[in-house]
Structure 1
């Protein structure tokens, strides 16, 4: 594959990753505002929101180093779909559980996207970009691990609150 083709694929992937992280924010921010009975979940989401904002900055820096910019259209489209996804669970009686499942799936999607981007970066010789993307990947893995490890506790808390007749959904 030519250097130009690899560069084009890398740039497209970076723009997609930027839109993906914009979507992640549009999912997490409404969710965290609604959380009432799961303070540990809210605290971890606040931390990951800050991490995600840093990830966006890293992607923008890589794009800038390539004299490129993120796609405002892709960002807007995925932000909209993220907001709709977050709103879709608000009507569920088990909103916290549905959000937990969806968030775990989304984190693993992000992990796969970063693994692919890192491979492209390394193949194309974009080593500084690969290093930045590895930081993003590590944060996504940490969040996915946290969600995985805490799903039983969130589920137990949901059951306890529901059994006590308290508001359990968020």
Structure 2
């Protein structure tokens, strides 16, 4: 049988991972938003989600303060570098905007799973003040994933339309 201390230890590790994950998300989205030219809806939604992600990091830092813990600078740095490399890899592709869309959708679903797990852990530890902050992060991730899912068709059609007319389609 687990103890409250066991769940708390897993929660703290998960929170450190989530903080690094959100920094990774910023390192992926910021280069994307700088490169998007022909997809104004995507540009606007990425800008919005960058702001949401910055708020998610602030909420995670609030939780760390409440728990008298700190995020992992090493994890933050390593995942941010990985995110930057992924963004760079897509920038080289002819169908960059499509690859970014697919990767963003996958990443949002990864974040959703992480927050659902963290919410479970926060409930197991009876940390009532933590759960609402994590639920807010989860809601924003679910909304972004839904937005991407709802726009995959439009992005694909716009890509083909721009490409067939000889315009810059990749961004």
d(CA) in 2 for partners of 1:160, 1:79:
34
d(CA) in 2 for partners of 1:160, 1:23:
32
Structure 1 residues 86-135: Cα deviation after superposition (integer angstroms, max 9, x where no partner): 00001111000000000000000000000000000001101111110000
1:44-123 aligned at under 5 Å gives the runs 44-123=45-124
Gap runs ≥5 in structure 1: none
1:26-37 aligned at under 5 Å gives the runs 26-37=27-38
d(CA) in 2 for partners of 1:27, 1:121:
28
Gap runs ≥5 in structure 2: none
Q: What is the Cα-based RMSD across aligned positions, in Å?
A: 0.5
- TM-score under structure 1 length normalisation: 0.99
Q: In the alignment, which residue of structure 2 is the partner of 1:13?
A: 14
d(CA) in 2 for partners of 1:87, 1:126:
39
1:26 shift after superposition: 0.3
1:4 shift after superposition: 1.5
Determine if the alignment matches structure 1 residue 151 to structure 2 residue 152. yes
d(CA) in 1 for partners of 2:118, 2:8:
11
d(CA) in 1 for partners of 2:93, 2:11:
39
Structure 1 residues 59-103: Cα deviation after superposition (integer angstroms, max 9, x where no partner): 010011000010000000000000000000011110000000000
d(CA) in 2 for partners of 1:132, 1:62:
8
Q: In the alignment, which residue of structure 2 is the partner of 1:140?
A: 141
Mapped contact 2:21–2:79 kept (Cα < 8 A): yes
Mapped contact 2:27–2:81 kept (Cα < 8 A): yes
- TM-score under structure 2 length normalisation: 0.98
